[in-house]
Amino acid sequence: MCADLWSFALSTYARPGVEAACLRLQEQGADVCLLLCGAWLEQRGVACVPERVHALQQLARPWQAQVIEPLRQVRVQWRAMAQQDEQLKALRERVKTLELDAERQLLAHLEALTRAWPTGELTQQPWLEGLAAENAANLDHDALQQLRVMVTGT
């Protein structure tokens, strides 16, 4: 088990099928950083309660909207043009690095928020579903379940 959230996110994302499931969920409006945080909390036995879900969402939303999403939009917009222009391709790679750095910072903030939450608790509500609930109508529940199985094995 990974002690810190960033290491957990990297090792989880590298598992077969996780990246594809995360990208599908992201395209449908899910916050993948939040989902990975939820999977990490679930693995550590942190109880999923509405107040904690709300706290994580309140922390993540502005960072996603004001930092990560604008970087992602630029990167995506430049995809086609960067295939024809080497200088733009290099700039796009720098934007991609900034986007990853912004995600790393968000995960660090999420981990700091959860540091005092007790581990080893019995969890009644699964974190992934709790954190995805606000986008539930738009999400591919098969991708969410696939992510759950690949991350938690259940």
Summarised one tens digit per residue, pLDDT across range 85-119 is 999 999 999 999 999 999 999 999 999 999 999 99
Cα dist from 36 to 24, 79, 81, 91, whole Å:
14, 26, 31, 28
pLDDT band of residue 52 (cuts 50, 70, 90) is: very high
Cα dist from 51 to 92, 114, 118, whole Å:
38, 12, 14
Sequence-distant (≥ 6) Cβ neighbours of residue 128 within 8 angstroms: 35, 38, 39, 42, 144, 147, 148, 151
pLDDT, tens digit, for every residue of 33-43? 999 999 999 88
> Is the Cα dihedral 40, 42, 46, 48 positive or negative?
positive
Start-to-end CA distance of the chain, whole Å, equals 16
Q: Check whether 61 has a pLDDT greater than 70.
A: yes
Mean pLDDT of 10-15: 91
**Domain map of the chain by residue range?**
5-114+122-152
pLDDT at 154: 63
